[in-house]
A and B are shown apart, each in its own frame.
Chain A
């Protein structure tokens, strides 16, 4: 019988995959995509807890919707930053982004 714990474990596995992508990829856009995976994992937690712990309140759905809004804003600004850096550096390799390092 599938219960709350299965959904939460599935979400934590998805979060782990996203975290591995963030920590180990070279391409800045790939890192941004992995961050999206992590945000999706968090959203699954909110919606699952809404169903199993506080059903009928709409609280989990509301917070999930806010997370989606913030994620959309984040990905738009993040991709604009990557395009802006690419124009100067001609690269999207994170190892080349060391302007602030001394």
Chain B
């Protein structure tokens, strides 16, 4: 067992436990903090997969921006006891069905992945930095890149408009 394997197992364990914490916490602030830990664990997995730039973007966008946005939204809408802000659905059959579907999906996917013969590449390359990424984004995928920029602009306007609300005449 190499160091790489130990690091993967540690990161995967932390990430999965934090993800369970997000879903199982009764206090939604705790859920949000576990979500930050999950994002950082996933960023560690990206670093381990030689994707340094994607890992940094993950830390900045997810662990930085999105989690702050979520915590602000929680502060704006929290009006009951903190320990009862993040409960499960009232109906037990709904939870049972949700758990059944999720376990079935995860187990089915894991089995399918395990028994698939993957077309693994023989060559191994290290971290390429942003060079390849820039070539892709400004080469074959330049239209998608521009559409993503317009999407972000529209999302900012939409979010401001929705959160501001319509004033009553």
Contacts and interface: CB of A to CB of B under 8 A. Distances in A.
Note whether A and B form a binding pair: yes
Interface of A: 1-10, 12-27, 29-30, 32-34, 36-37, 40, 43-44, 47-48, 50-62, 64-66, 68-77, 79-84, 86-87, 90, 92, 94-95
Given A5-B113, A55-B123, A55-B124, A83 B79 contact: no
Interface of B: 2, 4-5, 8-9, 12, 15-16, 19-20, 22-23, 28, 31-32, 35, 38-39, 42, 45-46, 49-51, 53-54, 57-58, 61-62, 65-66, 69-70, 73-74, 76-77, 79, 85-90, 94-95, 97-99, 101-103, 105-106, 109-110, 113-114, 116, 118-121, 123-125, 128, 132-133, 135-137, 141, 144, 148, 151-152, 154-156, 158-163, 165
Contacts of A51: 49-51
A25 B109 CA distance: 23
A18 B31 CA distance: 12
Contacts of B12: 6, 10
Given A56-B128, A72-B155, A80-B159, 17 more contacts: A1-B2, A6-B12, A10-B12, A17-B16, A23-B94, A23-B99, A27-B86, A29-B28, A43-B58, A47-B45, A58-B132, A58-B136, A66-B141, A70-B148, A75-B70, A80-B160, A82-B73
Contact of A64 (B54, B88, B124, B152): B54
- How would you classify the secondary structure of chain B's contact residues: helix, strand, loop or mixed? helix
Contact of B57 (A29, A40, A65, A92): A65
Give 4 nearest A-B pairs by CB, closest first: A16-B106, A23-B98, A58-B132, A73-B155
Given A15-B106, A37-B22, A25 B86 contact: yes
